[in-house]
Amino acid sequence: MSQYPSFFNNLQRNFTFQNNVPSRFILPPPPPPVTPPTSETDDEFIKKFNESLPQVKPKPKINRNKIWKMKVDVIRLLGALHDIKLQEETLSSNYALSDEEWQSALQNININKKVLKDTIIKISKSGLDISRKLITKRRAKRLRLKRIREERKQERDERIRQNKENSRKIDENLQKIKDDIEKAKQEEEAKFQADIVLKEVLRKKHDAKKSIAKLEALVKLRKARENTAKGKGQPVSEIESNAFHDNIERLKSLWMHKLSEYEKEESELRRTLEKQNVDNETEVQASNIVKWRKALFGGQSNPQFDFNGDLERFISVRAEWDQYIDDGPESSPIPVGWVYPDKKS
């Protein structure tokens, strides 16, 4: 406080801390109160929006008479007119009627006239027009319903036909599968039988070679015995020796002939088995090619010609395929009708 003595001494005379306001200073008016905006609810917004929409004028109600009521009125009108004509004919042809009969006939005519007048008044021109419109609409509705029934009947018939066609195709596919299975079984059975026959032929061929070897061994044994007998000084009959050799040669030629037949039969059987294997492999390869083609291109059509009307997609697909073209030694030939792309510079 000692540092600022004059300030604290003049504290009472300072108007800032006193209620002594100079006369020249005018206080400003207080600011207006600020009220926060009220939030509008969804229901109030929808209500205001509906009120802002233009009002739709209600359609005037039309006195739509029933067709069956109009039909009854027309029948009554025609009946009254027919009665009047009958009474007219009766009065025109019978002049000698009594007064009571004339009065009765006239009374009936007046009654029918009243019916005609009341019915005509009831069936006004607007009523006739409305009835015509109703009849036209009903006729159009009946025609539309008839057309719808016919369309539904055609759809039902088409669905039945399609179901029959699908059933026929399914039966054909099942029959084809059964035929393929039966054909595979027959081929397997034929191969099995051929293997059995081949084994039997090989056994016979082995027996023939074994028999020929035995005959050759007998010839060698006979010759060895003859040499032993000659060494001992014993006599050897040339006649028996020649007869033995003749018999051995005859048997040997017989077995050689059978061996030749067995070898021919073996070669035929092996050729048949190889052909069956090649045919099976060819069928499997063809079936795999068809499956791959269907999986890649979705049908039996040629993908290099059929573009299904979309030329731009066809060109883009062909451009993508062209990048895989290779002229290597193991590459496949380019399909017929394929246009070669420009060579890269």
pLDDT in tens, 190-235: 778 778 877 888 888 888 888 888 888 888 888 888 788 777 777 7
Nearest Cα neighbor of 269 from 181, 184, 204 is 204
Instruction: Kindly indicate the confidence band of residue 2, based on its pLDDT and cuts at 50, 70 and 90.
Output: very low
d(CA 247, CA 212): 13
Report H helices in 98-124. Answer: 99-122
End-to-end CA distance of the chain: 100
Lowest pLDDT segment from 36-40, 230-234, 315-319, 320-324: 36-40
Instruction: Kindly indicate the confidence band of residue 306, based on its pLDDT and cuts at 50, 70 and 90.
Output: low
d(CA 218, CA 212): 10
Q: Is the pTM of this model over 0.85?
A: no
Phi, psi at 248, each rounded to 5°: -65, -40
308: region left, alpha or beta (phi > 0 left; psi from -120 to 50 alpha): left
Identify the sign of the CA torsion 123, 124, 125, 126.
Answer: negative
d(CA 180, CA 177): 5
d(CA 331, CA 296): 19
212 within 8 A of 259, measured Cβ to Cβ: yes
* H helix count then E strand count, the chain: 7, 0
Nearest Cα neighbor of 120 from 63, 78, 66 is 78
| CA–CA distances in Å: residue 203 to residues 91, 165, 210, 213, 312 | 129, 56, 10, 15, 69
Maximum CA extent, the chain: 186
Nearest Cα neighbor of 107 from 89, 87, 121, 90 is 87
Which residue shows structure tokens 């027009």? 129
| pLDDT attached to residue 283 | 77
